[in-house]
Amino acid sequence: MEKKVNYKEISYKNEEEWHSIRQKHIGGSDVSVIMGYNEYKNLVTLWEEKTGRREQEDLSDNKAIQRGKLSENLLIEHFKINNPNYTVNKLEKTLESLKFGFMSANLDGTLKNEQGEMGVLEIKTATCHSYQIYKEKWQNDIPIEYYLQIQHYLYVTGWKYAILYADIKLAFVNNKHEIKQYFIERDEEDIELIKQKEIEFNSFIVNDIKPPLAIKLAI
């Protein structure tokens, strides 16, 4: 029996093309804004970016972003060594939802387990400047913005699981690095809530109506 595919692949030649595709879609990094869990950007700013009223912020000189890009391939290889039971592939394409064409996913990698089930590999780097931040965000769980991003990816792909593989620099312990691995299952209730909020936000884009500021929801 042929497996159902929930998305189509969109190729891009360079970073400029990738930014153009990203501007036309709601992607994983947008979800925390839409759900009201992003401390750096609000719903109006995101709407202005998606409607072309505002240039997307250039983060190419951001040291945290640079560290993430430089570390990504190394962390994928590190993950492969520690998880030989998964087949890992890097994906240099945007995945667009077939049901909702405005939703997209840019995955760091794809996973296939021993049962042949596909999953998402998400790579993160982070710096914690205090034990309190580490405890709140990373010790036993992942930051809410990354959880929302992953559930969005699981909706676009139709897959049932993801693994987040993180390199966390502990600035409060002489910049010690800790590698943490988290298994995240698809949650239909959370996905439904995310989907409805994304549909609502997209209606503001399509109708060119300025949205209200995001309201934080219980998730």
| H or E element at residue 162 | strand 161-170
**How far, in Å, CA of 111 to CA of 117, rounded?**
8
Q: What SS3 class is residue 46?
A: helix
> Quick one: average pLDDT of 1-12?
84
| Domain 7-57+70-206, CATH class in plain words | alpha beta
| H or E element at residue 153 | helix 144-157
State pTM to two decimals: 0.92
Please enumerate in sequence order all residues whose Cβ is within 8 A of that of 178, keeping only pairs 6 or more positions apart, or say none. 167, 168, 170
pLDDT tens by residue, 45-78: 999 999 999 987 766 666 666 666 778 999 999 9
Give the per-residue SS3 of 94-116: EEEECCCCCEEECCCEEEECCCC
pLDDT tens by residue, 171-200: 999 999 999 999 999 999 999 999 999 999
For the chain, domain boundaries: 7-57+70-206
- DSSP 8-class letter at 123: E
Q: CA 50 → CA 26, 53, 90, 171, distances in Å? A: 9, 8, 27, 35
Q: State CA 102 to chain mean position distance.
A: 15
Q: CA 198 → CA 25, 50, 185, distances in Å? A: 10, 13, 20
Structure-block tokens of residue 154: 């699981």
Q: Which residues partner with 8 through β-bridges? A: 96
Structure-block tokens of residue 163: 């693994």
Spatial contact of 59 and 65, defined as CB atoms under 8 Å apart: yes
Asked if residue 121 has pLDDT above 80, the reply is yes
**How far, in Å, CA of 117 to CA of 113, rounded?**
5
